[in-house]
Chain A
Amino acid sequence: MIQLENVTKVYGKKDRSFTALDNVTLTIQDGESVAIVGKSGSGKSTLMHVMSGLDRASTGTVSVDGQDISKLKNKALDSFRAEKIGFIFQAFFVQANETCAQNVSLPLEVLKVGRFSRKKRIQTALQAVELTDKANEKAKNLSGGQKQRLAIARAIANKPRILFADEPTGNLDSVTGELIENLLFSFTKKLGSTLVIVTHDADLAAKCDRQIFIRDGKIQESQKKAKAAAKPVKKAKRV
């Protein structure tokens, strides 16, 4: 469970300050899939950074599973991310010169997983995104969709409690994008993990359990998905 209470994030100094998050209070339940929707500059990325422990709130508390991560020291915050968080980015950020297996290996190395069990977990993760045959292929030889699949394999390798996806389909065509979306949803469901997607794509947002609309650092509204509404959207996309 992620709980934000009166979280404010201010960048810059007094006279030139910019409030990216303004008194945000919000709760995300375990296993829930949430879309944070907003225009660029709305503060949606900052919200994700604060929730994932990449950034610290200026004021307010951010608790994950009852632990106040805004009070953690750097070292503890680093291991918090390594253990509990998975990241997926719009630009993939896979290491082009490394093989798929080496890319997936990185978060496991950070977690100090032993060589033998690392090998097994890499295999499992690559199998889940259907990249087993590309394990020893360099990442630069993959297509865009394959790269994002690789990024997903890397994100799920350490079985994270929360998966953050920042515009995961932004650089992909709609067919590939949907494949990636389905992968994300099926994994989080299987692992029972929480999924937080930052997007301005209304179609993708509609597939989530809940949408949180953000504007100028403030939460505008939070609406639950109407189960009936989701299906027509999906169908419309397939046409």
Chain B
Amino acid sequence: MKLQDIFARAGRSLRNAKGRTVLTSLAIAVGAFTLTLSLAAGEGARQYADKLISSNVDPQSLFVVKDDSVFGGVSGGLQEYSATATQYGGISFKTLSAKDLEIVSGIQGVESVTPTYIVPAEYVTFEDKDTKYTTDITAYDPSVRSEVAAGNLPPLGQQIESDAVVVPQAYAEQLGIKPKELVGQAVTLRLVKANAQLTPKQVETIIKKQGIKALQKKLAAQSKDVKLIVVAVSAKSSTALSTSNGLFISEVKAKELSDYLTKGTDQYQQYVSATVKVKDGVDPEKVKEAIGPAFEKEDKNSTVSARSAKDLQALLFTIVNTLQGIVGGFGVIALIASVFGIINTQYISVLERTREIGLMKALGMRGHHVSRLFQFEAAWIGLLGGIIGAGIAWGVGYLLNPWITEQLSLGDGTYLLIFQPIPIAVLILVLVIIAMLAGWFPARKAAKLDPIEALRTE
């Protein structure tokens, strides 16, 4: 029997049992629906993660730290004391020294190394407002494009003026000032310098040489007000993580203030992290690989860890893939259930059509052609189920996408469910193959049927 004739016959006998066919394929449709959604959500999340990274991290840069636990989150338990460790958010990190940064700068392909300056201001005040606020203050990253609600930012790659400050839009809302009005206003940072930590010997020498007053002066807390002018209010963005974080000041200013605050302490010129700008045309991964050997040459006991945009992407993708795997797992379970459904339905079909099978075999139809007939029927069921499931998933995604975007405030045009035709087509193909495998058992039963037994009339 020709393949196309078997195929047509399979389709015809399914049409003659519409109810059963549709119900069986609905079982597969549940699996197909779940798997399609998990594919769509995974793709959407990956694209979103990509967008997130590209709007926050310069792909030509590396993020360098001394202490790997910066990446790994909170490291509990006993930690070895280090004189050069710094406290940040209650967690102690080993810090990068000026020497470390120098070694990194020396690596071929590195354009510049910029430490992350932390300026822990005591409080911040805005012009004409008495309220004192606390906020994060970090250096402006010129390699990342920020959207502006008001004011102007220099073109990509250029730093802001040294006395300039960028304020997030959320602050303007909190202050009750329109972003436009905030531009040009002054922001005052109150900096309080920690006491100098002196050893008994140092105290002794100061008293001997400069007298007790000098010592008092040295131990008294110093403070300083820094006045900055708002040049821009950064717009809320769905993908830019940093805009909502705090105030941006120029790199020069950040360095100056950071140095002022730490001078005389053992945290002077010690940094939790640094950003390495890699020259255009040089692969950041190559520079990353060169860090280890460079430190080996200089100082065997010391090294730094580096992360590239790619690593960050890989980390996010791991999370996305895990979540997708969980959702997909449910789909697979639904599929397994539907496989038994197909086997059951096809067994009943074989029983019902015993005479038809007997007749076909009596007329000289080969056993494996009979088997193929039933497998094709199963394949049709798989195809139908796949199309129904994927179709409903697409429809649901189409309707839900705007709502999800609104709920997660992802920003216009960003959808979390992205349906791609090729993976869905592959999925449907896989379902057809699974259905055919499920149909194999009943098909074998049909193929082995004895025509004389099947045609016995009683």
Interface residues of A (CB under 8 A from B): 49, 54-55, 74-75, 78-83, 85, 87, 89-91, 93, 95, 97-98, 102, 106-107, 109-112
A110 touching B362, Cβ below 8 Å: no
User: Given the known A-B contacts A93-B355, A98-B12, A109-B1, are A80 and B452 also in contact in the complex, defined by CB atoms under 8 Å?
Assistant: no
| Most chain B CB within a 10 A radius of its CB, from A55, A75, A93, A112 | A93
A to B CB contacts below 8 Å, 10 in the list: A54-B452, A81-B362, A81-B364, A87-B363, A90-B457, A93-B355, A93-B358, A95-B359, A106-B363, A107-B363
Contact A106 B364 (CB under 8 A): no
Which of B12, B356, B358, B363 is within 8 Å of A82, CB to CB?
B363
B292 to chain A minimum Cβ distance, whole angstroms, is: 68
C-alpha spacing A134/B366, complex, angstroms: 29
Is the Cβ of B362 less than 8 Å from the Cβ of A54?
A: yes
In the bound assembly, the distance between CA atoms of A111 and B9 in angstroms comes to 15
CB distance from A103 to the nearest CB of B (A): 10
Check if A75 sits within 8 Å of B452, measured CB to CB: no
Known: A90-B457, A110-B1. 12 other contacts (CB 8 A): A54-B452, A55-B452, A80-B364, A82-B365, A85-B364, A89-B457, A91-B457, A95-B356, A95-B359, A106-B360, A107-B363, A112-B2
- Bound-state Cα–Cα, A102 to B11, Å: 13
Q: List residues 356-385 of chain B with CB under 8 A from any CB of chain A.
A: 356, 358-367, 369
Chain B residue with the shortest CB-CB distance to A158: B363
> In whole Å, how far is B5's beta carbon from the nearest beta carbon of chain A?
4
Which residues of the partner chain B approach A98 to less than 8 Å between Cβ atoms? 12, 16
Chain A residues near B359 (CB, 8 Å)? 93, 95, 106
Residues on B lying within 8 angstroms of A by beta carbon are 1-2, 5, 9, 12-13, 16, 355-356, 358-367, 369, 451-452, 455, 457
Contact partners of B13 in chain A: CB under 8 A? 97
CA distance A77 to B448 in the complex (A): 15
Q: Which of A80, A87, A91, A109 touches B5 (beta carbons < 8 Å)?
A: A109
- A55 CA / B452 CA spacing, docked (Å): 8
Q: Which residues of B contact A95 (CB under 8 A)?
A: 356, 359
Report the minimal beta-carbon distance from A24 to chain B, rounded to whole angstroms. Answer: 18
Among B2, B358, B366, contact of A78 (Cβ-Cβ < 8 Å):
B366
* Distance of B17 from chain A, by nearest CB (Å): 8
- Tell me which residues across on chain B come within 8 A of A85, comparing CB atoms: 364
A110 touches B12 (CB 8 A): no
**Which residues of chain B have C-beta atoms less than 8 A from A112's C-beta?**
1-2
Which residues on the B side are within 8 Å of A79 (C-beta)?
Answer: 364
Give which listed residue, A55, A97, A110, contacts B363 with CB less than 8 A.
Answer: A110
* Contact A54 B364, CB 8 Å, known A90-B457, A109-B5: no
Is there contact, CB below 8 Å, between A110 and B365?
A: yes
CB-CB under 8 A from A87, the residues of chain B are 362-363
A-B pairs, top 9 by smallest CB distance, nearest first, are: A82-B364, A81-B364, A97-B16, A109-B5, A78-B364, A91-B457, A93-B359, A107-B363, A110-B365
Q: For residue B360, which residues in chain A have a CB less than 8 angstroms away from its CB? A: 106, 110
Q: How far is the CB of A93 from chain B (nearest CB, A)?
A: 5
Interface centre among B13, B355, B364, by most A CB within 10 Å?
B364
Contacts A90-B457, A110-B1, A112-B1; is A49 near B363 (CB within 8 Å)?
no
B457 touches A102 (CB 8 A): no
Residues of A near B363 (CB, < 8 A) are 81-82, 87, 106-107, 110
Nearest residue (CB) in B for A167 is B457
Q: Which of A49, A75, A89, A93 interacts with B366 by CB under 8 Å?
A: A75
**B4 closest partner in A (C-beta):** A115
List residues of chain A with CB within 8 A of the CB of B455. 89, 93
Residue of B nearest to A96 (CB): B16
Q: Which residue of B lies closest to A84 (CB)?
A: B364
How far is B412's CA from A154's CA once the two chains are assembled, in angstroms?
Answer: 66
The answer for the CA separation of A107 and B5 in the assembled complex, in Å, is 11
Q: Within 8 Å CB of B358, what residues of A?
A: 93
Residues of chain B within 8 A (CB-CB) of A49 are: 452
CA distance A24 to B42 in the complex (A): 74
Q: How far is the CA of A83 from the CA of B364 in the complex (A)?
A: 8
Q: How far is the CB of A78 from chain B (nearest CB, A)?
A: 5
How many angstroms from the CA of A98 to the CA of B455 in the assembled complex?
A: 19
Q: Which residue of B lies closest to A82 (CB)?
A: B364
- Among A55, A93, A97, A110, point to the contact of B364 (Cβ < 8 A): A110
Residue in A85, A89, A102, A110 whose Cβ sees the most chain B Cβ within 10 Å: A110
- Could you say which residues of chain B place their CB within 8 Å of the CB of A82? 363-365
Q: In the complex, which residues of chain A have a beta carbon less than 8 angstroms from the beta carbon of B451? A: 54
Chain A residues in 8 Å Cβ range of B2: 109, 112
Contacts of A78 in B (CB 8 A): 361, 364-366
- Alpha-carbon gap, A98 to B12, bound state (A): 8
Which of A55, A98, A106 counts the most B-chain CB atoms under 10 A from its CB?
Answer: A106
